[in-house]
Structure 1
Amino acid sequence: MSTAYECPILVWMISLNRNYSQEEYDACYGLVKDCVTNVNVTYKPQDADSFRSLLLAMLPLLMMRHRRIPRAKWRDCVTNNGKHWIEQDDLPPEKFLNSMIGYHLAQDQSLLGMAMTQGPQKKVVNIGLGILMLKVPGRIPLSSYIESQQHKLTPLELAAITAAEKPADVLRRLCIILTLKSSYARAIGQSAAFDWARLEFDVDKKSATADGHALTGWEFRLYRAKLGVARGIEPKLVEEEYQCCCAFFRGCDDLKFVWYDDPKQLETWVQFINIDQMTKVIPKLSA
């Protein structure tokens, strides 16, 4: 039986806390072009989405640098359904099989993230990360937003979401369900066309099913992230909040929902960095 100690989970998150400069874009672009061979990013320095893609591609470099493993000593591999893992060179045979690092990258708005774990390749690729901003997009009413997401929900989930009295609680419940589903779908390597309504999460009863079958063996870690973000020509600081969920298949006999509301507990496995911290270490990431 698998335990939390066998494949420990770590998450790195980048806060896009301010606007970026041309110099910072160029430095990130050069690093990704030279060191991340599995990513093809077009040079678009004025495109914020392009900058997000560059920072996201840099996260595996940061993680491996943190482990003091030179770039020339590891390879980024991928399964047929797009699941990534990293293999390291120069390891003795008895350590090689358990040295695989599976990871998944995710993003939404001002928050980027990478969830990773280490162990046998067949286990570590089953990890996924879901990130969703706790905000109704645009200026549409909350009811319209829920209606636009209804095709992803089951009747039971929709009833649980709309049963909340306060609009903020309705939105939070919706985002919890959506991040649970997105993290699971990404953990198993499903495409964007995957029908999320095939999944059903009953958070109150701590149960979940896929096509009517119980999702045993899965661990879902849920937490929220609050960011201070400066935006605009004359930057004004605004607060953004995100719902996050990390899914991992441990192969145990039950299903676990683990809530991290205590910042100190969250810090034991989730690390937040910003643009300044990320760009500062660029010279070291190619080594």
Structure 2
Amino acid sequence: MDCPILVWMLFLNREMTPEEYERCYQTMRQCASHAQVPYAPANCFLLGQVIAHLLPCLMMRHRRIPRARWRDRVSPSGKRYIEQDVDTTANPTQRLRAMIGYHLAYDNNLVGMVMTQGQMKDVINIGLGVKQLSVTPSDVSASTYAESLHHRLTPLELTFVAPSLGDEVVLRRLCLLLALKQAYIKAIGQPLGFDWARLEFDIPKEKVTGDGIPLQGWEFRVWQAQIGIERNGEVVEESYQCALAFFRGTRESHFIWHKEREKLESWVQFINLDQLINVVPKLMD
């Protein structure tokens, strides 16, 4: 299927003021009434959710489509998509191909949205994974951090994050595996309790299985994002591993590795908090 993919990534380049949070939160309640996000200005994790739910409105405004001419829907499997009002006088099938499947993801200071347009059955199986290249808590080694997440990995995947490889390699590979798994799990509409170890990504061979069975028809795109965050007058650099999963229905699954920024910018757009704040009052127009 020919469904072009677009990704928007918003980084929280600075702290949000109480007034800005109030404006964003109230706008989220209006434009994404399905979002059950508690009001918590001091909670960084919940802030990412608030911002994420504004991205569909921002994207549709960018397309110059009035809020009254599109609706946020949910599929039987729990996947969200946007239904547009289009003029079908000349082509009655145009409306069927105007559905926009999307998925939201966030981690710390990076919020992302992946989207594609086509028939509903072709666009809803899409997911995004975002994982910051950092450890939790911050004073442990990458190997210790990886060990705490062993339950999400298979025996083969554990060989890719062996402590003997060194902290830098372990952290990079661990975040890659987690981002890929998150993207696929969200693409198929599975809940948070899904057993991540049911999936196995053989990165060197570019193969993926679910419950030991090869997954066919999937496209996985992988890239990294480096952003600058201003905190207390200083700019802190952060790196994130990103991945998307999209079911294209091909005979084989395949991986696309994006390392050149020029090619990445053709379908991944980066924006910052200021660019969102400037248009929040107009998102419901």
Could you say if the C-alpha distance between residues 163 and 53 of structure 1 is closer, same or farther in structure 2, counting changes exceeding 3 Å?
A: closer
Displacement of 1:100 in angstroms is 0.5
Displacement of 1:164 in angstroms is 6.8
Q: In the alignment, what sits opposite 1:201?
A: 201
Displacement of 1:20 in angstroms is 0.6
Q: In the alignment, what sits opposite 1:82?
A: 78
| In 2: Cα distance, 1:286 partner to 1:108 partner | 26
* Structure 2 stretches lacking a partner, 5+ long: none
Instruction: Name the SS for the 1:65 alignment partner.
Output: helix
- Normalising by structure 1, report the TM-score: 0.94
| In 1: Cα distance, 2:22 partner to 2:234 partner | 25
Instruction: Name the SS for the 1:98 alignment partner.
Output: helix
Could you say if the C-alpha distance between residues 165 and 49 of structure 1 is closer, same or farther in structure 2, counting changes exceeding 3 Å?
A: closer
Residue 258 (structure 1) aligned with residue 256 (structure 2): yes
* Structure 1 stretches lacking a partner, 5+ long: none
Q: In the alignment, what sits opposite 1:71?
A: 67
Residue 244 (structure 1) aligned with residue 279 (structure 2): no
- Normalising by structure 2, report the TM-score: 0.95
Displacement of 1:215 in angstroms is 0.9
Q: Kindly provide the amino acid, as one letter, of the partner of residue 71 in structure 1.
A: R
Cα distance per residue 1:226-283 (max 9 Å; x no partner)? 111122xx33211110000010000001111101100111101111111101101113
Cα distance per residue 1:174-228 (max 9 Å; x no partner)? 1111111110000000111111111111111111111111111100000000111
* Contact 2:98 2:117 (8 Å CA) reproduced: yes
Displacement of 1:142 in angstroms is 1.9
Displacement of 1:23 in angstroms is 1.7
Aligned residues: 281
Could you say if the C-alpha distance between residues 80 and 199 of structure 1 is closer, same or farther in structure 2, counting changes exceeding 3 Å?
A: same
Displacement of 1:163 in angstroms is 7.5
* Contact 2:143 2:162 (8 Å CA) reproduced: no
Displacement of 1:79 in angstroms is 1.9
Residue 22 (structure 1) aligned with residue 22 (structure 2): no
Could you say if the C-alpha distance between residues 249 and 238 of structure 1 is closer, same or farther in structure 2, counting changes exceeding 3 Å?
A: same
Q: In the alignment, what sits opposite 1:121?
A: 120
Alignment root-mean-square deviation, CA: 1.4
Cα distance per residue 1:90-143 (max 9 Å; x no partner)? 431220111110000000011000000011101111000000000111212222
Instruction: Name the SS for the 1:171 alignment partner.
Output: helix
Identity %: 51
Instruction: Name the SS for the 2:165 alignment partner.
Output: coil
